[in-house]
């Protein structure tokens, strides 16, 4: 499979290079040159397969042409999903007649990002080993996403990871999910400053090109194609459980950077009969407003009780735009340049109609989110987290056809956001058994001053030598 940039002028790459590249050199995002397609019979053959087997069938066409052969891919997927906490890996739960939830929180950090990052960490190691290279990942987190990156990189031979968080400004469960990972290549740094300071420090390192080359500086950002590719698998998995390809299914996805729901769109392109996508937002509703009016308008970031969806701009949306504009890279350059300059992007009626063919958007503020958590709990006995419930409630509000199963993606375990869940439902969600001693585990974390030179010195000294 070859990959092209949404902005049309970066080199065409094979999978291994796309994996390591992240962002394309022209500022665009990589997408497959053509969509692989499964016939109805091929989709039927997924019935009865395990999650890892479905993932293998779905991912295989995307990695061809590189060093990840069938055996390597199979080993990576078997190993990854054997480490999850539920034999179904992504179990479906029924809330009502055609109202379903797919639980994507049975990985090591209790959030859906594990489903891709656990694979991507292993893919990095595989490709780096083949090339005799090492990388050093440096990233900043406000608490909610750092642990998935750390868990993905722990014990990887050719990767060292340094994650910065603002000291004292991360919740205890989030801090402990990061700092209780005790591994030679994992470094948690508690920065004397804010989350913005952490991000500025990381930027300073990336802007120092000599340093960047010296240590093989890299990121595990949400625009990496390999993450999308892994997420496509659970759309096929869920669809097949509920009758596809003989029957259509719909999905409702709590969204931030648009990576998760875009993977669903990819599944549609690959032949899964999907009726509808509902894009759920919190008060950071740039996506919901877009699907309402066809205008993308930038706004400030508002902190909410669903912090993993607190975004200003949904970076992966550019991949959908690329298809809406018939894969015209020059048109995307114009649109994005205008958007960066004015904070506004307006689509023609034709493109907007095309976007609305399958997509609806819906927004819940914090009060509505709490009310929805209580409602689900009272009616079904299920405790759901503030992100997942936005999927559930948005799916109900926008359902176009109640004869089609609506599958809401539960993106985090309730115990990951215990205070919000308790406040909404009156019930404190317990951690799953294998994390139940999280509050007793030893922590490994080092203080770091808000100083780029000090950070560089620290990274140089503590990363493992080649
Ligand atoms: C990252 C995240 C999201 C948003 O997913 P996108 O792919 O950025 O749209 C939603 N819920 C949770 C719990 C997350 O961690």
What is the atom index within ligand 1 of the atom nearest the CA of 385?
13
CATH code for the part of the protein at 92-108+225-425: 3.40.50.1100
Residue 60 annotated among the catalytic residues of the structure? no
Distance 392 CA to ligand 1 centre (A): 14
* CA dihedral (162, 166, 170, 176) positive or negative: positive
pTM to 2 decimals? 0.96
Mean pLDDT of 119-139: 95
Task: Give the pLDDT score at 312.
Answer: 87
Q: Above 70 in pLDDT, residue 250?
A: yes
- Which residue in 113, 293, 341, 422 is the catalytic one? 113
Tell me the C-alpha distance between 169 and 19, whole Å.
32
* Percent of the chain surpassing pLDDT 70: 100
Distance 412 CA to ligand 1 centre (A): 9
Residue 41, C-beta contacts closer than 8 angstroms, at least 6 positions apart? none
DSSP string, 173-240: HHHHHHHT---TTEEEEEESS-HHHHHHHHHHHHH-HHHHHHHTEE---TT-HHHHHHHHHHHHHHHH
Query: What residues contact residue 446 under an 8 Å CB cut-off, 6+ apart?
Result: 187, 188, 189, 190, 458
Q: Looking at 104-155, which runs of residues are DSSP E strands?
A: 135-140
Q: How confident is the model at residue 465 (pLDDT cuts 50, 70, 90)?
A: confident
pLDDT in tens, 159-188: 999 999 999 999 889 999 999 999 999 999
Question: Can you read off the two tokens belonging to residue 130?
Answer: 């083949």
Q: Which atom of ligand 1 is nearest to the CA of 144?
A: 15
pLDDT of res. 64: 95
Structure tokens at 218: 């890299």
397-414 pLDDT per residue, tens: 999 999 999 999 999 999
Q: Pocket around ligand 1: residues whose beta carbon is below 6 Å from it? A: 111, 113, 222, 254-260, 308-309, 387, 411-412
Q: What is the mean pLDDT of the chain?
A: 95
Which residue's alpha carbon is at the smallest distance from atom 2 of ligand 1?
Answer: 308
* C-beta of residue 217 within 8 angstroms of C-beta of residue 135: yes
* Residue 222: pLDDT over 90: no
Distance 348 CA to ligand 1 centre (A): 28
CA 390 / ligand 1 centre spacing (Å): 11
Mean pLDDT for the stretch of residues 428-451: 95
The whole-number pLDDT of residue 466 equals 67
% of the chain surpassing 90 pLDDT:
91
Q: What is the pLDDT of residue 461?
A: 96
pLDDT at 145: 82
- Give the Cα separation of 230 and 115 in Å (integer): 7
d(Cα 189, Cα 138) in Å, to the nearest integer?
10
Sequence spans of domains, the chain: 92-108+225-425
Query: How far, in Å, from the CA of 56 to the mean position of ligand 1?
Result: 23
Mean of pLDDT values over 81-93: 97
């Amino acid at each position: 499979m070859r990959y092209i940039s949404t902005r049309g002028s970066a080199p065409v790459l094979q999978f291994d290079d796309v994996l390591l590249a992240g962002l394309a050199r022209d500022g665009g995002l990589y997408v497959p040159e053509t969509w692989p397609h499964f016939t109805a019979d091929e989709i039927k053959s997924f019935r009865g397969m395990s999650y890892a087997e479905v993932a293998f069938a779905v991912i295989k066409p995307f990695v061809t042409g590189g060093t990840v052969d069938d055996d390597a891919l199979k080993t990576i997927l078997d190993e990854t999903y054997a480490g999850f906490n539920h034999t179904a890996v992504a179990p479906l739960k029924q809330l009502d007649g055609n109202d379903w939830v797919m639980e994507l929180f049975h990985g090591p950090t209790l959030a859906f990002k594990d489903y891709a990052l656990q694979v991507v960490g292993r893919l990095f190691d595989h490709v780096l080993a083949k090339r005799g290279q090492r990388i050093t990942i440096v990233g900043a987190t406000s608490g909610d996403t750092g642990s998935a990156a750390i868990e993905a990189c722990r014990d990887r031979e050719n990767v060292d990871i340094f994650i910065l968080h603002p000291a004292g400004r991360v919740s205890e469960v989030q801090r402990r999910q990061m700092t209780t990972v005790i591994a030679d290549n994992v470094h948690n740094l508690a920065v004397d400053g804010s989350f913005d300071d952490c991000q500025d420090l990381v930027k300073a390192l990336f802007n120092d090109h000599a340093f960047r080359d010296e240590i093989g500086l890299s990121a595990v950002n949400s625009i990496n194609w390999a993450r999308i590719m892994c997420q496509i698998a659970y759309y096929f998995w869920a669809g097949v459980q509920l009758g596809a390809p003989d029957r259509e299914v719909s999905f409702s996805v709590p969204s931030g950077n648009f990576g998760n729901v875009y993977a669903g769109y990819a599944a549609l392109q690959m032949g899964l009969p999907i009726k509808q996508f509902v894009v759920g937002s919190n008060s950071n509703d740039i996506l919901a407003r877009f699907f309402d009016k066809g205008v993308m308008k930038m706004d400030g970031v508002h902190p909410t009780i669903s912090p993993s969806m607190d975004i200003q701009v949904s970076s992966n949306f550019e991949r959908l735009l690329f298809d809406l504009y018939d894969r015209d890279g020059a048109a995307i350059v114009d649109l994005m340049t205008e958007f960066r300059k004015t904070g506004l992007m307006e689509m023609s009626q034709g493109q907007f109609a095309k976007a609305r063919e399958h997509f609806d958007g819906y927004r819940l503020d914090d009060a509505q989110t709490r009310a929805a958590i209580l409602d689900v709990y009272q009616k079904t006995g299920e405790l759901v987290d503030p992100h997942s419930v936005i999927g559930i409630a948005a799916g109900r509000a926008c359902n176009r056809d109640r004869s089609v199963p609506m599958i809401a993606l539960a993106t985090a375990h309730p115990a990951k956001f215990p205070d919000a869940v308790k406040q909404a439902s009156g019930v404190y969600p317990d951690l799953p058994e294998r994390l139940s001693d999280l509050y007793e585990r030893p922590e490994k974390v080092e203080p770091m001053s808000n100083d780029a030179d000090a950070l560089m010195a620290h990274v140089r000294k503590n990363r493992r030598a080649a």
